[in-house]
Amino acid sequence: MRVRPILILGLDVISENPKRFAVVSWFNGRLERKGEFTLYRLIRFIQAKRPDIVAIDSVTELGEDLRKFLRALPPETKLVQVTGRPGEQRSLQSLAREHGIRTADRFDPYEEAKLSALLASRGVGYEVLAFEDEVIVRVTRGRSHGKGGWSQDRYRKRVHNLVRDKVREIEDRLRRADIPFDLETEERDHGLARGEFRVYASREELAGLIRPMRGGDVEVRIQPVERAELGFAPLKGEEAVRERRSIIVGIDPGITVGIAAIDLKGNIVALHSERNMPVGEVFRFISEVGHPVVVATDVSPAPGFVEKIARSFKANLFVPRESLRVEEKNELLRGLGIKVEDDHQRDALAAAYKAYLRLKPKLEHIDAKLRDAGLSKKADEVKALVIQGYNLGEAMQRVAARREDRRPEPRQEESGSVDVRPYLRKIRELEERIEFLERENEELRGIIREQRRTIERLERRIADYDEEVRRKVLRERELEAKVKRIEVLEKQLKEAKAVIERLSRDLVQVKRMNVVEIRGSAVPLKVMNVLSWRELERLEREVGIRRGDVLFVLNPAGAGKAIAEELVEKGIGALITERPLPEPVREVLREAHVPFFTSEELDVKRVDEFAVVERETLEGAIEELLSRWEREDERREAEKVLRLLEEYRLERKKELLRRAEEEARAGRKT
């Protein structure tokens, strides 16, 4: 299988004012210095090259331009902070040593950019998440309709129909791709003035599925939803395992999302359910608990929502062979000895615990091996690496190697070398300080979680004490909703009255037409919108066409000889149109002596799908037209006879001349 080439750009700031960057590229193992770039030139360079990753040691170096930089990145390009997530960052040099990368001058921006690119190429770092896994897709008209009469009305209706068709096309594509979404539309002229999709997917998932459109009758704009705060996702699962607690997460998607998390010893560490919980909030909730190495579901096949969470964390996806039954879920929870608040928490916890039971024999085997190797303190880290695909030996070697790397390097005394012992002592002090702060941070997180639970409990008590106020607020909201409903109904009533008034006028006209038809003084016309085969079939199917019928066509444009010959064959009495007939149709009807007129010539009266014409007017027009055609035919016939006589006379004259010449030649010979 051919592997797609990977392009990574490493960045480091050279100067702040003006801001300039050192750029080094990594392309399938080959490093190349690209030079210095201003922010504007750097953005244009990235948009032209479209790299897979832009790596930097800290996104704070972009300062106030960070959001602008993230918005300008192509959808497939990731911004990666290689030193880790905020609050857990490590130096580039220590990361390079850990991954066997040689370092040089740490004050050289190009050296720093090179290290960032090399570390990112090995899966080190955290992707900066600036956008939610939600995208707004807006479909609107592209041009203003302008002011005017009938032509502008037809153009406006056409554009609204195009907007409706584009909305239906996007809706169909999203459904076939099994991507969840919400849709809001604004109806206009039996079409749509606008449509707005809230698609629960990332920009990358929509690439190639929905394309933006600008400058035509219909515009399609795609706008990703920005996060209020930046998120950080591990570029490779191994990096998160080293720094954070590994967990198994069960998810029950739906209107109410259930989340359960257990550690690799089978202990429950989080249980939560929330209504209308967005994907980004689910991601953040799980990130606060730990790093998931397994994401589990209780149904088979796995829902797309669960697959998205697993892909986001680079975690393994656990799907049972068949969907878990309610009895089986309850049995699993009885084994845990815990009660849940609702069915969503039950389903999520059952999925997580089912995945743990599937892994339990392997995890117990790992515990036994680690006790023999003296690595019991790093059991979770080794287990997580094995779950991610490493064999036990490789996982133990990696963890042991990291322990060796963290020991102080032996002092090497060389002639004229710098005494590094003070720096080593400072590094050890800082590492101890970091370890202390991490423990303190974890304790503070526990305090925060406890305080949140206390706040929730107090809020429930306040809600109980303030029940009367709550009911009052509810009544006011209900009243406000009813007032809005009344306004909507009044608007609908006004529109209905307008429709009734128009229909009443049309009914009066229809009655007059019926009276005229019953008296025999009018001829009913069979109406066609356009002169086409499909419309002709519809008319035959719904009404029927008999010999002598008079047809009334609103728009004959585009018709040809074939359909005109079909009308002649059916023996229609006459054809009336609102616009002039195409020349091929006129020729066929004229040749067959089938009368045709425009509605202005006969004063056609029409209401919706009904039309009549005065019998006396129609018969008089037909008689006059046929008489004129008869005179024209007689004149053409006479001209034809005269033309034939003239041709005969000329031929006869030529024949006599030829004979005379032959006789003269014969006389000369004798």
Condensed to tens digits (0 to 9), the pLDDT of residues 258-291 reads 999 998 888 888 899 988 887 777 877 887 788 8
Q: What is the pLDDT of residue 82?
A: 92
The pLDDT tens digits of the residues spanning 552-603 come to: 999 898 888 899 899 999 899 899 998 889 999 989 998 888 999 988 888 8
pLDDT for 24 equals 93
**Low-confidence winner among 351-355, 508-512, 531-535 (lowest mean pLDDT):** 508-512
Q: pLDDT over 90 for what percent of the chain?
A: 18
260 with 385, same domain: the answer is yes
Say if residue 9 is in the same domain as residue 108: yes
- Looking at the structure, do residues 379 and 439 belong to the same domain, yes or no? no
The pLDDT of 526-535, averaged and rounded, is 89
- Indicate if 58 and 95 belong to the same structural domain: yes
pLDDT, mean over the chain:
82
Residue type, 424: L
Final residue in a domain of this structure, among 185, 200, 227? 227
Residues 152 and 264 both lie in one domain: no
Pairing of strands 126-141, 78-81: antiparallel
The answer as to whether 235 is a domain residue is no
Model confidence band, residue 544 (pLDDT cutoffs 50, 70, 90):
confident
Co-location of 279 and 392 in the same domain: yes
Checking if the pLDDT of 160 tops 80, the result is: yes
Asked if residue 551 belongs to a domain, the reply is yes
Domain residues for the domain of 36 are 1-124
pLDDT at 374 over 70: no
What confidence category does residue 238 fall into, taking pLDDT thresholds of 50, 70 and 90? very low
Domain membership flag for residue 234: no
> Is residue 399 domain-shared with residue 330, that is, in the same domain?
yes
| Arithmetic mean of pLDDT, 26-34 | 84
Cis, bond preceding 75 (omega within 30 deg of 0): no
pLDDT at 248 exceeding the cut of 90: yes
Stretch (H or E) spanning 3: none
- Segment 633-658 mean pLDDT: 86
Same domain, 526 and 616: yes
Q: What share of the chain is helix, strand, coil (3-state, %, to 5)?
A: 55, 20, 25
pLDDT at 419 over 60: no
DSSP string, 43-76: HHHHHHH--SEEEES-GGGGGGGHHHHHHHS-TT
Residue 541 lies in a domain: yes
CATH number at residue 381: 3.30.420
Q: Are residues 654 and 592 in the same domain?
A: yes
Is 420 a member of any domain?
Answer: no
State the average pLDDT over residues 207-222: 83
| Domain identity same for 169 and 290 | no
Last residue of a domain, one of 100, 124, 148: 124
Residue 93 pLDDT > 80, yes or no?
A: yes
Residue 493 confidence (pLDDT): 92
Separation of alpha carbons 208 and 177, rounded Å: 12
User: How many Cα neighbours within 13 Å face the side chain of 247?
Assistant: 26
pLDDT of residue 609: 67
What is the count of structural domains for the chain? 6
Residues 262 and 201 occupy one common structural domain: no
| Mean pLDDT computed over 96-120 | 85
Q: How far, in Å, CA of 121 to CA of 7, rounded?
A: 9
Distance CA 244, CA 233 (A): 12
438-458 pLDDT, tens digit each: 776 877 887 888 888 888 888
CATH number of the domain at 151, please.
3.30.70
Is 419 a domain residue? no
Q: How far apart are CA 143 and CA 218, in angstroms?
A: 8
Average pLDDT over residues 154-181: 86
Q: What is the pLDDT of residue 124?
A: 87
Instruction: Tell me the pTM.
Output: 0.38
Q: Is the pLDDT of residue 405 over 70?
A: no
In the three-class reduction of DSSP (H, G, I as helix; E, B as strand; rest coil), residue 28 is classed as coil
Pair (394, 442) in one structural domain: no
- Span 535-558, mean pLDDT? 87
User: Is 417 domain-assigned?
Assistant: no
Of 101, 124, 147, the last residue of a domain is 124
Domain assignment present for residue 49? The answer is yes
Q: What pLDDT score does 54 carry?
A: 94
Query: CA 281 → CA 276, 327, 328, 402, 506, distances in Å?
Result: 10, 31, 29, 33, 57
